[in-house]
Amino acid sequence: MNPRQLRAQFAQIEGIIFDVDGVLTNGQIIYTDDGHELKQFHVQDGASIKLLMEHGIDVALITGRRSPVVARRARELGISHLAQGALSKVAALAGLIDDGFTATNLAAVGDDIQDLALFEDAAITMSITVPNAHPAVLARADWITQRRGGDGIVVDIAEQILKSRRQWPW
């Protein structure tokens, strides 16, 4: 895809779906001796997600795992569209759309093979991944962020979308 086509595709995005592990985190899951689960989120991702929402981009999180930490992060960021424990991310997206998530011009951000079905879903107009994604995901993505999963990737995405819309504030 040439740069002009890519800008046009970014400019059309109305909603974006993020995987969590490997995208908003580095993919590592740490368990404490007392059974708690730890995940590390990048603060710049949070600021960029809020920036996208302030500019009218609907944001959702779909993850195959269940984690109180993910629910907490979603609440902190004001993300109301959250699907955890998704056996099928395509079915989870359909459920989120039924519950009010935007249904058109959607981008999906994923890093592992379970994200491929979502990339192929008819509702997805743009697939995005991170450079440390599974090779099959890298091969199917429309765009690859500069930053690795867990390293503030939403900054790259927000900048592309908002610059394409001429809404980048800096």
> Tens digits of per-residue pLDDT, 117-127?
999 999 999 99
Residues 116-166: tens digit of each pLDDT: 999 999 999 999 999 999 999 999 999 999 999 999 999 999 999 999 999
Q: What is the pLDDT of residue 169?
A: 83
Q: Which runs of consecutive H residues, i.e. helices, occur in 55-145?
A: 68-77, 89-98, 116-120, 135-140
| pLDDT of 3 strictly over 90 | no
Q: Which runs of consecutive H residues, i.e. helices, occur in the chain?
A: 3-11, 43-54, 68-77, 89-98, 116-120, 135-140, 153-164
The ranges assigned to domains in the chain are 13-164
Fold type of domain 13-164: Rossmann fold (3.40.50)
Average pLDDT rounded to a whole number, residues 92-113: 97
Q: What is the pLDDT of residue 15?
A: 98
Mean pLDDT of the chain: 96
Residues 50-84: tens digit of each pLDDT: 999 999 999 999 999 999 999 999 999 999 999 99
Residues 6+ apart with CB under 8 A from 147: 130, 131, 153, 155, 156
| pLDDT of 22 strictly over 90 | yes
